[in-house]
Amino acid sequence: MSNLDLSKISLRPFKLSDVDDFLLWAGDDQVTQNLRWKTCGSREEALAFIRDVCIPHPWRRSICLDDRSIGFVSVYPWSGDDRCKADIGYAVAADYWGQGIATKAVKMAVPQVFNDLSHLVRLQAFTSPENKASQRVVEKAGFLKEGLLRKYIYFEENIKDSVVFSFLSTDEFPHDD
Amino acid sequence: MERDREESVDLAQISLRPLQLSDVDDLMVWTTDEKVPKFCTWEPYSSKDQGIDFIQNKACEFLWSRAICLHDRAIGFILMTSCSATDQSREKSVELGYVLGSKYWSKGIMTYVVKQVKKVAFREFPHLERLEALVDAENVGSQRVLEKAGFHREGVLRKYLFFKGKSRDMVIFSVLSTDLNHQD
């Protein structure tokens, strides 16, 4: 495993020109299996997904390595009386797993998100109990594990438990270590 | 906590039935009492029109609801809402809510009612997997109701809600269809 220089990791909005890089990871079942994304099956699908979903999204950023897209961080705010909270999701291309990239990306995203979403008080993450790597990402980024929600999510005809984590506007923002 | 009388209530006199317009005066007793909506998003009612509006227009919007009655007089209300309104992935979950006139607190009434409604929920909604409830972290009385009624306390969701000018930590409880097979 090479020692990646994490200073080469940046966050920025998606562009249509990201399509080929995007397809490399959004077209990979390994990456999308824990998301509610449908795996992209073609360049056309990937282009449509970037154009119709990623770009208009309230807060979605490409995780970039030397400005090439290798993943995403998304924050979806609730609306109306519930706009005090938002859900965070993230994924990284399989080739880049195990190098602290998702953790770095989430750490970078947290202060930006609280700055950009004015009513936000609580950022929450829901992970599958089996996905330990994903839980470590948010733990290292300073999220607090709150509990196990039993049979919380129903997706693709499976009912699943969820581990819930949160980061509050009043929590100390993560530092780079 | 003060009590006017130490009378206990014969729980056999507690029943559940749909809320009716003729219940409005009884409804106004708990909706105008400041103690009652302390941990609810709504403010105490100030006019009977609000009571009428609730019975005629709001009560029917819930997935399921009933008036909690003592000798067939309404003393509270219990309801279920679907969790999938904003998120399809929550379609196997239903949320429980309830309110009781303060004169009837601490007599075991709410626990008795929740135990029954727990069973009703899984019978009425055969695809239901999870019945959940969220209670303000400061509302110890309501947390005890759910614990005694057999709900599992899963954790505290920090600053999960914001109403009446402040953020609220909410304790989340659940009971699963599979839990019922092992309970009374």
pLDDT in tens, A144-169: 999 999 999 998 889 999 999 999 99
Q: pLDDT tens digit string along A98-113?
A: 999 999 999 999 999 9
Q: What is the pLDDT of residue B8?
A: 85
Q: Is residue B7 part of a domain?
A: no
Question: Hey, what are B18's tokens?
Answer: 């749909």
B-chain residues within 8 Å CB-CB of A154? 89-93, 129
Q: Choose among B141, B123, B121: nearest CA to B132.
A: B121
Q: What is the pLDDT of residue B182?
A: 66
B-chain residues within 8 Å CB-CB of A159? 92, 129
What is the rounded distance in angstroms from the CA atom of residue A158 to the CA atom of residue A153? 8
Confidence of residue B7 (pLDDT cuts 50, 70, 90): confident
In chain B, the percentage of residues whose pLDDT exceeds 90 is 91
For the residues B33-44, what does the mean pLDDT come to? 96
A-chain residues within 8 Å CB-CB of B161? 81-82, 84
Confidence of residue A1 (pLDDT cuts 50, 70, 90): very low
Q: Is residue B144 part of a domain?
A: yes
Kindly tell me if the per-residue pLDDT of A36 is higher than 60.
Answer: yes
Q: Is residue A177 part of a domain?
A: no
Q: What is the pLDDT of residue A2?
A: 56
* B92 closest CB neighbour out of A122, A159, A168: A159
Which residues of chain A are at the B interface, by a Cβ-Cβ cutoff of 8 Å?
A: 36, 78-79, 81-82, 84-85, 121-122, 124, 144, 146-155, 159, 164, 166, 168
Kindly tell me if the per-residue pLDDT of B2 is higher than 80.
Answer: no
The structural domain count of chain A equals 1
Kindly tell me if the per-residue pLDDT of B105 is higher than 70.
Answer: yes
The domain that holds B106 is classified in CATH as 3.40.630.30
Question: Hey, what are A11's tokens?
Answer: 């966050």
In chain B, the percentage of residues whose pLDDT exceeds 70 is 95
* A164 closest CB neighbour out of B152, B157, B162: B157
**Which of A3-7, A29-33, A108-112 tops mean pLDDT?**
A108-112
Measure in Å the smallest separation between the Cα of B170 and chain A Cα atoms: 11
* Boundaries of domain holding A31: 6-168
Q: Is residue B4 part of a domain?
A: no
Task: State whether A152 and B152 contact (CB < 8 Å).
Answer: no
Q: What is the pLDDT of residue A47?
A: 97
Q: Is residue B38 part of a domain?
A: yes
For the residues B82-104, what does the mean pLDDT come to? 94
Kindly tell me if the per-residue pLDDT of B145 is higher than 50.
Answer: yes
The structural domain count of chain B equals 1
Confidence of residue A37 (pLDDT cuts 50, 70, 90): confident
Instruction: Tell me which of A3-12, A98-107, A121-130, B58-67 is least confident.
Output: A3-12
Q: Is residue A174 part of a domain?
A: no
Q: Is residue A176 part of a domain?
A: no
Q: pLDDT tens digit string along A77-92?
A: 999 999 999 999 999 9
Q: Is residue A108 part of a domain?
A: yes
For the residues B23-51, what does the mean pLDDT come to? 97
Cα angle, residue A33 at apex, residues A28 and A38 outer, rounded to 5°: 70
Q: Is residue A11 part of a domain?
A: yes
Kindly tell me if the per-residue pLDDT of A122 is higher than 70.
Answer: yes
Q: Is residue A56 part of a domain?
A: yes
Q: Choose among A83, A76, A22, A56: nearest CA to B89.
A: A76
- Is residue A96 within 8 A of residue A140, CB to CB? The reply is no
Q: Is residue B3 part of a domain?
A: no
Q: What is the pLDDT of residue A175?
A: 80
Other CB atoms within 10 Å distance of the CB of residue A55: 13
Task: Outline where DSSP puts E strands in A2-42.
Answer: 9-12
Q: What is the pLDDT of residue A130?
A: 95
Task: State whether B158 and A78 contact (CB < 8 Å).
Answer: no
Task: State whether B157 and A166 contact (CB < 8 Å).
Answer: yes
Kindly tell me if the per-residue pLDDT of B99 is higher than 90.
Answer: yes
Task: State whether A78 and B93 contact (CB < 8 Å).
Answer: no
The domain that holds A28 is classified in CATH as 3.40.630.30
Which residues of chain B are at the A interface, by a Cβ-Cβ cutoff of 8 Å?
A: 41, 86, 89-93, 129-130, 152, 154-163, 167, 172, 174, 176
* Boundaries of domain holding B130: 12-180
Q: Is residue B64 part of a domain?
A: yes
Measure in Å the smallest separation between the Cα of A47 and chain B Cα atoms: 25
Q: Is residue A1 part of a domain?
A: no
**pLDDT, mean over chain B:** 94
Question: Hey, what are A108's tokens?
Answer: 């970078």
Task: State whether B154 and A148 contact (CB < 8 Å).
Answer: yes
Per-residue burial over A128-142, b if 16 or more Cβ lie within 10 Å, else e, is: eeeeeebbebbbbbb
Confidence of residue A177 (pLDDT cuts 50, 70, 90): low
The percent of chain B in helix, strand and coil, each rounded to the nearest 5, is: 35, 30, 30
A-chain residues within 8 Å CB-CB of B83? none
Measure in Å the smallest separation between the Cα of B156 and chain A Cα atoms: 6
> Long-range contact list for B179-183, CB < 8 A, 24+ apart?
B179/B150, B179/B152, B180/B118, B180/B119, B180/B122, B183/B150
Q: Is residue B52 part of a domain?
A: yes
Task: State whether B155 and A164 contact (CB < 8 Å).
Answer: yes
Q: Enumerate residues 6+ apart whose C-beta is below 8 A from A5.
A: none
